[in-house]
């Protein structure tokens, strides 16, 4: 399947279960692989036959910088819901939501979730 890939989109949100996360906020990174047929758009060279990357960024931003959620899992699910709502050509998506600086003790690069969703038929 063809893909449009957006990596390391960065946003500032207030998601988390700890009080300091919802009060102070933190960075979130989102990677998105959007599965759709790109054959027509590659032939027509017309954005109407594809998905606008800028509009994808804005759709993801609406969720991540929107209403706080407790779980990163819920953020990822809300992003997939918004993408399917906004883009009728989207057939499936793989999303990775990363918190690089969660307030938990230990040594690690980041924490996050990755989900794969297909459009309901």
Among residues 7, 89, 96, 99, which one is catalytic? Answer: 99
pLDDT value for 103 = 85
pLDDT tens series, the chain, 121 aa: 899 999 999 999 999 999 999 999 999 999 999 999 999 999 999 999 999 999 999 999 999 999 999 999 999 999 999 999 999 999 999 999 999 988 888 888 999 999 999 998 7
pLDDT value for 120 = 85
Q: Is 55 a catalytic site residue? A: no
pLDDT value for 92 = 98
Q: Where do runs of H (alpha helix) occur along the chain?
A: 19-24, 39-44, 53-64, 72-86
Q: Which domain holds residue 53?
A: 3-118
pLDDT value for 107 = 86
Q: What is the dihedral of CA 87, 88, 89, 91, to 10 degrees?
A: 90
Query: What's the CATH code of the domain at 37?
Result: 3.30.1130.10
Is 93 in contact with 117 (CB distance < 8 Å)? yes
Domain count of the chain? 1
pLDDT value for 105 = 87
Q: Would you call 85 helix, strand, or coil by DSSP? A: helix
Q: Specify the pTM.
A: 0.95
């Amino acid at each position: 399947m063809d893909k449009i890939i957006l990596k390391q989109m960065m946003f500032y949100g207030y998601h988390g279960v700890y009080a300091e996360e919802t009060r102070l906020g933190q960075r979130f990174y989102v990677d998105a692989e959007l599965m759709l047929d790109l054959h027509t758009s590659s032939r027509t060279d017309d954005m109407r036959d594809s998905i606008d990357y800028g509009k994808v960024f804005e759709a993801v931003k609406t969720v991540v910088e929107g209403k706080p959620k407790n779980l990163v899992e819920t953020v990822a699910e809300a992003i997939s819901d918004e993408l399917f709502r906004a883009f009728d050509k989207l057939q499936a998506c793989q999303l990775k939501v990363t918190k690089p600086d969660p307030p938990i003790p230990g040594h690690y690069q980041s924490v996050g979730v990755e989900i794969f969703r297909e459009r309901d038929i």
